[in-house]
Structures are given as structure tokens and as C-alpha cells.
Amino acid sequence: MLDALHQKGIRLGIISNTGNLKRAEIVKMLPANFDFSNFEEQLIIFSSEVGVEKPDLQIFRLALAKTGINAEECLFCTEDLVHTLVAQQIGFRTVRVLPPLPADIADLSKNLIKAQLLV
């Protein structure tokens, strides 16, 4: 989906609470196929680099300033209700997404194989 949005010319950014991790540590934690080139460099905002975390209004204000556009032209997507409400306070449009289901297909496969052996 991110690739498709980027190819359509949609500007993409990241606002992430990263504790005290350095960028290199963050990159190592991401899947090998994660493509940072889909995101505008100035719109990749890691809390460990800017010294403020969500849900502080300041991190959203910083992101908005870096976009150079009006807040109502920005869409912020997250799983967290509080982060959504704070982003709305500065005028962002928001979408709350469901977190991924806590399932692992590998575990599911193993359990199905075990169940078949028991039958």
C-alpha cells in the first residue's frame, strides 16, 4: 500500500516514538524489505532524534511545519486513540486503524500439522 501511495505522488511521513534508539538501531529492527524511499526524508520524525514523543502536541506541530502545507491537508493514521485526538487538535485529519491480529502464520501451520497427526 505504501508503494502504491508513493507512486501516486502522495507525500508520506513517519512519526514514531523510538525511545532512545539511534536511527541505525531502528533500521535494523525493521523488516529487510522496508523501503524508506517511500517517505520524504524531512518527514521521518523519530522521537529519539527530536526529543519529544507522541502524544505531545509539539511532535505534531513539528511534523506539520516540515510539510509546508495546511494541517487539514494532512492525514495521520494510527492505532492509538489518544494520538488521534491530539493530532486532531492541530487540525490533522485522522484515521484510526486496527492493530494487526496477534497471530503468527508459522505457529498456525505447526498447530494444524499437529492436529492432523492427532486425527
Domain boundaries, the chain: 2-118
Residues 6+ apart with CB under 8 A from 58: 52
pLDDT at residue 41, as a whole number: 97
Asked if residue 58 lies in contact with residue 52, where contact means CB atoms within 8 angstroms, the answer is yes
Ranges of the chain whose pLDDT falls below 50: 119
Quick one: pLDDT at residue 106?
60
pLDDT of residue 98: 87
49 neighbors 77 (Cβ within 8 angstroms): no
2-118 has which fold? Answer: Rossmann fold (3.40.50)
